Amino acid sequence: MTYPSAFEAAWGFARDAVRLDNWRAAPWNVWAFRHVCELIPTARIAATPGLAEEPVVDARDLLDETVRLEGRPVTVAELLRKTCADAMVVMKSGRIIADFHAPNFTLQSRHILFSTSKSVTSIIAGILRDDGLLDFDELVSRYVPALRASAYGDARVRDVLDMRVSLDFEEIYHDPRGPYARYRRAGLLDPPDPDDKIETVVEFIAGLKKGKAPHGGPYHYASPNSDVLGLIIQGASGQRFPELASERLFQPLGARQDAYVTVDRAGTPRTGGGINMTPRDLARIGEMMRQGGMANGRRIVSQEWVTDTTTGGSSRAWAEGTSAAWLPHGRYRNKWYQTGTGNGAFFALGIHGQWLYVDPQAEMVVAKVSSQPEAVVDDAKDLNLALFDAIAKII
């Protein structure tokens, strides 16, 4: 008789079953989203030295709470199952009040954020703006000369921040032959294609063409914009993104666990979707945003930048853009979403169910990481927003 290994007993499959060509698909994604560094090259983002994590806060009372959705009662625990949650941290008035962990998830588990990485990256841009090193009205090419002949050559940093770059690029996740698949391969997220040339992220982005419209028009979601923001940050600061993020955000924040970011074959960090960190440290970023840029009694980013991020942006650009049907009253500013509702809620969002949600009115922050089988499902996004709204009424 052959007995399963400890890994197989815990996860239901062998470690060698998880490969670069299936790591985002169920059931392998549940393990892979917590162990990206075993699949893709990464760079360390160092946490604050010497800080220990506090014990887990029992979430059973919250999980047993019943809310009504579409006229029927459902528990918080059931909603977490429906949305394939791997972990959730709830903060109230700056204090962690609940930790939910799926099986095999611990306080040390780091989970990929996917596009929630964009919102974390934008905080570094705000810090450089406060320092006078980055001008949002300047052309991208001032900071990244390698993109002068690309679609970004006459785009402003502001266009990049607000997803208003006119770009001949569609983010189609399931097309194995399209430009998005090439983009993934450039970032080492997929196996190489023998029919394609090997290229880095910068080489891929440098080949992108401008769309027919001018920059600064409707909201048009395109992940390469956020990798461009990482390049802008490195060009403006003269530092590599991982070291800068550690020095100016993660260590002042009081992050307990090192984070990491995936890199391509040239060492370029995937700031558009490659940051991996613990849910608690992600929640601490949300609390810093709720506190107007303050953490541990020190200023990390200016109140002005936080206010602009959480209340600014163009309603018209959003209404004419690609997501208005899903979030009809929303706006997008500095790579953060606004719900447009009376509570002033704002959030960061990543594919497969990654969230950082802040409700200033309820003094609540929720960090939630998941392994949804599909990259994007509007119904799941609606369900998560309903969950967060329900939690705000409970706590």
Q: Could you report the per-residue pLDDT of 184-194, keeping only the tens digit for each?
A: 999 999 999 88
Residue among 45, 23, 27 at smallest CA distance from 36: 23
What does the pLDDT read at residue 297?
A: 95
What does the pLDDT read at residue 1?
A: 52
What does the pLDDT read at residue 70?
A: 76
Q: How far apart are CA 275 and CA 273, in angstroms?
A: 6
Concatenated DSSP letters of 211-249: -SSPTTSS----THHHHHHHHHHHHHHSS-HHHHHIIII
Secondary structure class of 210 (helix, strand, coil): strand
Taking the CA atoms of 267, 204, 34 and 288 in sequence, report the sign of the dihedral they define.
Answer: positive
CA 62 to chain centre: 25
pLDDT tens digits, residue range 354-394? 999 999 999 999 999 999 999 988 888 999 999 999 999 99
Residue among 213, 235, 208, 237 at smallest CA distance from 223: 208
Phi, psi of 107 (to 5 degrees): -65, -20
Taking the CA atoms of 145, 260, 356 and 187 in sequence, report the sign of the dihedral they define.
Answer: positive
Query: Residue 354: enclosing H or E segment and its boundaries?
Result: strand 354-359
Token reading at 391:
């939690």
Return the DSSP state at 12.
S
Q: How far apart are CA 379 and CA 383, in angstroms?
A: 6
Residue among 193, 202, 250 at smallest CA distance from 230: 202
Average pLDDT of each block of 10 consecutive residues along the chain (395 residues)?
A: 81 96 97 98 97 95 90 93 97 98 98 98 98 98 98 98 96 81 96 91 98 97 98 98 98 98 98 98 98 97 98 97 92 97 96 98 98 90 94 94
CA 103 to chain centre: 23
- What is the domain partition of the chain in residue ranges? 33-131+225-394
Residue among 228, 233, 226 at smallest CA distance from 124: 233
What does the pLDDT read at residue 178?
A: 84
CATH number of 33-131+225-394: 3.40.710.10
Q: CB-based burial of residue 54 (10 Å sphere; 0-12 exposed, 13-18 middle, 19+ buried)?
A: exposed
What does the pLDDT read at residue 3?
A: 66
Please enumerate in sequence order all residues whose Cβ is within 8 A of that of 203, keeping only pairs 6 or more positions apart, or say none. Answer: 186
pTM: 0.97
Concatenated DSSP letters of 83-135: TTEEEEEEEETTEEEEEEE-TT--TT--EE-TTHHHHHHHHHHHHHHHHTS--
Annotated catalytic residue 314? no
Concatenated DSSP letters of 302-334: -HHHHHHHHH-S-HHHHHTSSSTTTSTT-EEET
Q: How far apart are CA 226 and CA 224, in angstroms?
A: 5
pLDDT tens digits, residue range 128-159? 999 999 999 999 999 999 999 999 999 999 99
- From the list 115, 117, 119, 237, the catalytic residue is 115
The percent of the chain in helix, strand and coil, each rounded to the nearest 5, is 35, 20, 45
Return the DSSP state at 22.
T
Rg value, the chain, Cα: 20
